Structure formats: C-alpha cells, structure tokens
Amino acid sequence: MILDVEKGFGHEPPRYDLCIVGAGAAGITLALELEATGLRVCLLEAGGAVYEAETQRLFEGEVSGQKYPTLRDTRVGALGGSTTVWAGWCRPLEALDFDPREWCDAGGWPFGLDELRPWYARAHKICGLAACDYDPEHWVGVLGANRLLPGDSGFSNEIFHIGPQDFGDRY
C-alpha cells in the first residue's frame, strides 16, 4: 500500500512495528526482508513515484574529503532511489576490497569476504540477477571463447551481471 502524506490519510495513520527511511535499494531490500518476518513495516520516501526537480533539491549539500561529485548528482529522491538511474551493473566484492587503505583513517572493513559470500545468492535474487557465477571459465561455455580476452593478453576478464534498473518499478 502506498500512502501519499500530502493527500492525507483520511483516518488515523496506520501503526507499524518498524519504520525505514529511504526507499532506495537498501531501504526496499530491508523492508522486504523484515516484512517476511511478519513485522508491520513502514517504508518512508521523501520523493514521489518518479524524479521531481523539487524533491531533488533536498540532496543539496557539500562534500568534503575525497574529490566526489555533488550529493545532488549522485542520489535520486524518488521511489527506488538511485536505482531509477543506475545501470544495474553488479559483481561481488573481492578480498582486496576489505583491506585497510593507508589513505583512509577508518581502516579496512570489520569483516572479510568470507562473511559476505553466503549472502550473494540472496542478493542476486533481490537484484533480479542470473546465477551467481563470475568465473570467466563458466562464461566461455556460455558466450564462446572469442568473447573473452585470451589468458596471455596481460589483462583479466571480469564478469558483471546487469539487473533490472529500477527497484521502485520492480517492487
């Protein structure tokens, strides 16, 4: 059920066990997972069903530290969040992604790749992706060897999956 607060409830507002703020990829995923437990979940989104320039102004702000595009240019305030404009390219993290970085005071992640590995199949389902197989050798059989770089090229083949682009539409 979608309620538009600007139109009013017409009665006493519904009661929920839990409220999640933000209906992007993370918020929608959390809401779906928690709803499956039987909890009454409220998912709040500041934006509407589609992109609106007025709502996007909520994302104005400064970015400090590393050079990074403006907040307004990297987030979307609408049902589905930034998934309304992303390309949907997905691939698992690699072990080196969890390593500490000397330029980052916060250090590395508090856990390693092995702790995430069991969750990738579930994430694939939520993202609407195909089988969780990123081994280039598997894809030689699917795509043909001529679609991948030869092993002696000095480069490596990295496999990405592309899922549906808009969680707002999907869910």
Task: Check pLDDT > 80 for residue 151.
Answer: no
pLDDT category at 42 given cuts 50, 70, 90 is very high
Question: How are the residues of the chain apportioned to helix, strand and coil, as percentages rounded to the nearest 5?
Answer: 35, 10, 55
Q: Where are the domains of the chain?
A: 1-86, 92-161
Going by their DSSP bridges, the two strands 89-90 and 161-162 should be labelled as antiparallel
Closest CA to 27 of 14, 40, 39, 45: 45
Return the bridge partners of 42, or none: 19
Which of 32-41, 54-63, 123-132 has the largest mean confidence? 32-41
pLDDT of residue 149: 85
Q: What's the sign of the alpha-carbon dihedral 128, 130, 131, 137?
A: negative
Q: Which pTM value belongs to this model?
A: 0.79
Residue 141 CA, distance from chain mean position = 29
pLDDT of residue 16: 94
C-alpha atoms less than 13 angstroms from C-alpha of 17 in its C-beta half-sphere: 9
- Token readout for 16 is 């929920």
The single-letter DSSP state of residue 28 is H
Task: Check pLDDT > 90 for residue 26.
Answer: yes
Task: Check pLDDT > 90 for residue 143.
Answer: no
Closest CA to 31 of 74, 59, 9, 2: 2
pLDDT category at 23 given cuts 50, 70, 90 is very high
